[in-house]
Amino acid sequence: MVAEDFKDFKLKPMKCELNYLSKSDGSAILAQGETVVLASVNGPLDIKITSQSMEKATLEVLFSAKGGKPNVSDRFKESVIRQTCETAILGCLYPRTGITVTIQELEDFGGLLTCAVNCTCLALLNSGLSMKHVVAAVGCALDDSGNLVLEPTYDQIQSAAATMHFVFDSRAKTLVTGFTTGIFSEGAYDEALERCRAASDLVFDFYREVVATYCKVIG
Amino acid sequence: MPFDYRRFNGPEDSVSYKRFSEDFLRTYDELYKDLLDENGKRKDGRALNEARSLCTSISRTNIVSQAKGSAYVELNKTKVICSVFDPREITGHQNEYSWFGQIYCEVKFAPFSCPRKRRQLVPDSDEKALSADLKKALETVVRRDKFPNFQMDIFVYILEHDGGCLSAAINAAGLALADAVVPMYDIVSASSVAIINDQIIIDPTEAEEHLALMYTDKEKNHGLVTMCFMHHLKQFTDFRQIGSVDAECVLKVMDILEKECDKLMLVIKKIMVSNVVRQHNEHKVLLEEAKFREEVLQSKVEEWRKLLNAG
Amino acid sequence: MSDVYKVIHPNKYFNDYISLNVRPDGRKFDEQRSIKLNANAISNADASALIKCGNTTVVCGITLELATPKAEEPDHGFLVTNVELLPLCSSKFKPGPPSDYAQVISNTVNDIIKNSKCIDLKDLCIVSDKLAWVLYCDMVCLDNDGSIIDACITTLITSLKSLSLPAVSFDVETEEVKVDISNKTLLKVTGLPVATSFAIYQSPESNIVLTDPTTFEEEMCGGIGANLIVCWNQGLLCGVQKYGGGNIPTESQKNLLQVAKKRSKLVEEVIETCLS
């Protein structure tokens, strides 16, 4: 399979605003299609001694759902985002400090977690923390007849046999995080991985665009 | 049931299916008739004054790899696991410096441990009472003056409940503390009896305990007694009684329990000795391996030295 | 001596082993720990299983209850799975409500079971909109030494496979429920998901993948828990989760899936021998 074959994909339209919140060190609001997420980053800050690490910054992620009531799957989302960001941030530059990422879900029409990862990444860029690389999350769904749909809509997710989400880094395009639901074959997994890898370029281009726009405003 | 947002919750109004089965609604008299068979034997074939002994082949120490000391105790169906961790410093500025070490005990039932109903995952009053009792039983045994301002955590988990939970928990904790080489005044052992209708039943099962607490006739003795005993010092560390028992009966029960505890002591000692022997053997093997490695290293060093000298 | 070395310089200690192509417990990189499985160890539970993978010990017990189905899904029963990480099993867990980590483990196990569709919730319904079974599956970790999700999934499936439901008669008019304990039928379980954990160690030369990691190995590979979990369900994948840690070397990616597949066959055999 050649990566060029996949270039004609379209992702959901993305809209983003940086510095959305005035009080936090970095913030971003990102809309991917109809899914909207707001993220804010604060840090590096002083934290209590028990949670300090001698070697790197302690990352804390708080996810609040639209409904407001916390539940077990929110903790899972927090853990996914935290582990993804830990690989991206150069934490060893900020030992014995804490970095807090707060994410607020605004609208969920499918692909909430991918949108949250992308939004967090933009907020981290905005905050000016040193990073090894940026990350891009792309999701896809496998429908009953075995066709892959990139960035599925809400209805497509409901009827899908499986959904797969991948997060890639910007340097070597290697897999940073991946999570799946449903049952699928090994071949489908490999295909989805390659397609999403190719599609992640579009997300990185979008990041570049956003940052370029804001550079002009500031400069 | 309050909604617990840290766990997955089932429907609000679920009830155990056992409530709808025929056995559930039996009266006291029916159950009492079933207690003993025609030969005066209990359901599991024991005589009234026969205890389930801690089986040495099953009860053992050092089973939780991450803990400092641990023990597993099995009394037929009752299964209890206990682990003890290293003492840790008591922090926080509100706390005054305590000259004696603190003991923190937690007893928990597995949700599937009880035969009548599912236990909730949040701690209930039973568990808290058992934790407090265990703490009282152990506080007088451990030499707390040896670790001032430190706290020691003892966790007990009851996998299956078939009577004698407290005594099994104390026995397990005693073994685990010994396994963790915590300084103690003496070895502890605990035993329990149920009194139903003036009859004294040693080491009761869950069904027998249930029956002892169901009894309502005020004239006759009924209840549960658990006692924890230090063998060499001949001292009680804990005595717990539920139900109504007259003074004469209490004295009788205490004598019986003392004898039972003495019997248990022999088993506990055996387990401890075998534990020490095993550790000693393991240490010997490790030492031999270390010796072997050193020899290999020495020969290598010799080789290098020769090479160096040669040129 | 090596114990002291491990405490004062864990990174170097671990790297010394890895550079000699061996793991601290003497295994090869892709070698798994031996599995011991025991079904129905706890007679008070309706079904139970105990597993020991190396030192990791997990007990699963199922309690059956009856309830009215949800109004939105009148012909569905309930499957409630929870993982308890007791303070007893490791000094890292404190008493009290489940920590974030415990919730993540619980969520992952629940996801895998739901994704594999091994239990049809419609089988658990007795009378539509009136009465349905609730399966409370509690997995309790007694000794945590890594790869806990693998152990949880295996015990859960073993206990589900050995679970039988008593016959229930329901009178529609009086709403009276009668349960006949002597007449039991086995629960239908289709599929058999098996999870395999991997940890990815970032050594200076290249990234190394460790199968079935211990707690110490998981720690050395960055963070708590395994980095990669591959779940096979009889020839099909039902979950590939990767969380942070190092990157998977491209040449070993295919290989990993095969290792997990092989292990799933092995575990299937173990479960079958245990239940027969």
Chain A, nearest residue to C98 by Cα:
A72
CA distance B36 to B51: 15
Residue numbers of C between 110 and 149 with CB closer than 8 Å to B:
110, 134, 136, 138, 140, 142-145
Digit-coded pLDDT (tens) for C101-120: 999 999 999 999 988 888 99
B83 min Cα distance to partner chain C (Å): 6
> What pLDDT sits at residue A2?
39
Least CB-CB distance to C115: which of A82, A86, A183? Answer: A183
Hey, of B4, B5, B93, which one would you mutate to test binding to chain A, going by the most A CBs within 10 A of its CB?
B5
Considering only CB atoms, C244 lies closest to which of A76, A172, A177, namely: A177
Subunits next to A (3 or more Cβ pairs <8 Å) are B, C
Examine the pLDDT at C246 and tell me if it is beyond 70.
yes
Q: What is the C-alpha to C-alpha distance for residues B187 and B180, in angstroms, rounded to an integer?
A: 13
Task: List the helix and strand counts (H, then E) for chain B.
Answer: 5, 11
Q: Round the average pLDDT of chain B to a whole number and report it.
A: 86
Q: Interface of chain A against chain B, CB under 8 Å?
A: 69-72, 75
C159 touches chain B (CB under 8 A): no
**Average pLDDT of B134-158?**
92
**Rg of chain B in Å (alpha carbons):** 25
At residue B65's C-alpha, the angle toward residues B60 and B71, to 5°, is 25
Sequence-ordered alpha helix ranges (H) in C137-249:
148-161, 215-220
**Average pLDDT over chain C, rounded to whole?**
88
Residue among A50, A53, A63, A75 with most chain C CBs within 10 A, to mutate? A75
In B76-135, the residues whose Cβ lies within 8 Å of chain C are 77, 79, 81-83, 85-86, 106, 108, 110-115, 118, 121-122
Q: What is the mean pLDDT of residues C180-209?
A: 87
Q: Considering only CB atoms, which chain B residues are within 8 Å of C140?
A: 110, 157, 159
pLDDT at C49: 95
Residue of C nearest to A179 (CA): C241
What's the 3-state SS for B75-89?
Answer: ECCEEEEEEECCCEE
Residues of A in contact with C195 (CB under 8 A): none
Helices A72-88 + A112-127 axis angle, to 10: 40
| Option in C66, C103, C110 nearest B15 (CB) | C66
How sure is the predictor about B1, in pLDDT bands with cuts at 50, 70 and 90? low
What pTM, to 2 d.p., does this model score?
A: 0.91
- Shortest distance between the Cα of A153 and any Cα of chain C, in A, equals 20
pLDDT-based confidence at residue B93 (cuts at 50, 70, 90): low
Nearest CA in chain A to B3: A71
Is residue A4 very low, low, confident or very high in pLDDT (cuts 50, 70, 90)? very low
The continuous run of DSSP H or E covering C64 comes out as strand C56-67
Structure tokens at C136: 């409370």
What are phi and psi for residue A175, nearest 5 degrees? -75, 125
Read off the pLDDT band of C170 (50, 70, 90): confident
Contact: A183, C237; criterion CB under 8 Å:
yes
Cα-based torsion angle of the residue sequence B236, B240, B246, B250 in order, rounded to the nearest 10 degrees: -30
C110:B8 CB<8 A: yes
Contacts of B27 (CB under 8 A, 6+ apart): none
Nearest partner of C115 among A141, A181, A113, A142, judged by Cα: A181
Contact list, B9 vs chain A (CB under 8 Å): none
Tell me what pLDDT residue A8 has.
Answer: 55
Please list the alpha-helical segments (H only) found in A4-139: 72-88, 112-127
**Residue C257 tokens, joined:** 């899936």
Cα–Cα distance measured from residue C83 to residue C94, given in angstroms and rounded to the nearest whole number: 15
pLDDT at C251 over 70: yes
Min Cα separation A73/chain B (Å): 9
A175-191 pLDDT, tens digit each: 889 989 988 988 899 89
B5 contact residues in A (CB cutoff 8 A): 69-72
Of A172-186, B57-71, B130-144, highest mean pLDDT: B130-144
pLDDT the model gives residue C154: 94
Note the pLDDT tens digit of each residue in A130-179.
999 999 999 999 988 888 888 888 888 888 889 999 999 998 888 889 98
Query: Who among C55, C88, C145 is closest to B83 (CB)?
Result: C88
Q: What angle do CA A17, A20, A25 make, to 5 degrees?
A: 115
With 60 as the cut, is the pLDDT of residue A6 above it?
no
Size of interface B-C (CB pairs under 8 A): 143
Nearest Cα of chain B lies from the Cα of A67 at a distance, in angstroms, of 13
Q: What is the pLDDT of residues B33-43, one digit of tens each?
A: 777 777 778 87
A172: chain C residues, CB-CB within 8 Å: 247
What's the pLDDT band for B279 if we cut at 50, 70, 90?
confident
C93 or C225: which leads in pLDDT: C93
What lies within 8 Å, CB to CB, of A86 at 6+ separation is: A59, C222, C223, C244
Is any Cβ of chain A less than 8 angstroms from the Cβ of B7?
yes
Contact assessment for residue C107 and residue C161, using Cβ atoms and an 8 Å cutoff: no
Mean pLDDT of B218-225: 85
Mean pLDDT score, C160-172:
90
Is residue B267 predicted with pLDDT exceeding 70? yes
B8 touches chain A (CB under 8 A): yes
**In whole angstroms, how far apart are CA C271 and each of B91, C35, C44, C157, C274?**
47, 10, 21, 9, 5
pLDDT confidence tier of residue B59, bands split at 50, 70 and 90: low
Q: Which of C117, C198, C247 to mutate to test the interface with A (most CBs of A within 10 A)?
A: C247
C213 with C146: CB under 8 angstroms?
A: yes
Q: First CA to last CA across chain C, in angstroms?
A: 46
* C positions 85-104 inside 8 Å of B (CB): 86-91, 95, 97-98, 103
Residue B53 has pLDDT above 50, yes or no: yes
Q: The complex's ipTM?
A: 0.90
Locate C49 and state its tokens: 């299983």
Order the strands of the B199-202 sheet from edge to edge.
B199-202, B188-196, B222-230, B235-244
Closest C-alpha to A86, from A200, A202, A181, A169: A169
Q: What is the model's pLDDT at position A9?
A: 66
- Closest to C143 in 3D by CA, of C93, C89, C83, C92: C89
Closest by alpha carbon to B255, among B202, B198, B187, B196?
B202
Rounded alpha-carbon distances, angstroms, from residue C5 to B304, C12, C16, C25: 26, 9, 11, 15
The pLDDT of residue B243 is 87
Q: What percentage of chain B reaches a pLDDT higher than 90?
A: 33
Identify the pLDDT of residue C176. Answer: 83
List subunits contacting chain C, requiring 3 or more Cβ pairs under 8 Å. A, B
Residue in B closest to A71 by C-alpha: B5
Buried b / exposed e over C31-69, threshold 16 CB at 10 Å, is: ebbebebebbebebbbbbbbbbbbbbbbbbbbbbbbbeb
Determine contact: A53 vs chain C, CB below 8 A. no
pLDDT in tens, B299-309: 989 999 999 98
The residue-averaged pLDDT of B205-228 equals: 84
Residues in CB range of B75: below 8 A, 6 or more apart: B52, B54, B162, B163, B164, B168, B203
Q: How far is CA C162 from CA C155, C187, C195, in A?
A: 11, 8, 19
Chains contacting B (3+ CB pairs below 8 angstroms): A, C
DSSP string, B151-183: EEEEEEEEEE-SS-HHHHHHHHHHHHHHHTT--
Nearest-CA distance from B8 to chain A in Å?
A: 7
The pLDDT-based confidence of C224 (bands split at 50, 70, 90) is low
> What would the mean pLDDT of B115-142 be, rounded to a whole number?
90
Which pLDDT belongs to residue A3? 42
Residue of C nearest to A60 (CA): C100
| Residue A98 or residue B27, greater confidence | A98
In this complex, which of C103, C115, C245 lies closest to A181 when CB atoms are compared?
C115
pLDDT classification of B56: cutoffs 50, 70, 90: low
Query: C137-151: per-residue pLDDT in tens?
Result: 999 999 998 889 999
Contacts of C43 (CB under 8 A, 6+ apart): B77, B160
Interatomic CA distance for residues C267 and A155, integer angstroms: 37
Residues of chain A positioned with their CB less than 8 A from the CB of B7: 72
Contact yes or no for C145 and B66 at CB 8 A: yes
Does the pLDDT at position C267 exceed 50? yes
Query: Token digits for B184?
Result: 């103690």
Chain C hits for B65, Cβ within 8 Å: 55, 143, 145
Cβ-based contacts of B77 with chain C (< 8 Å): 43-44
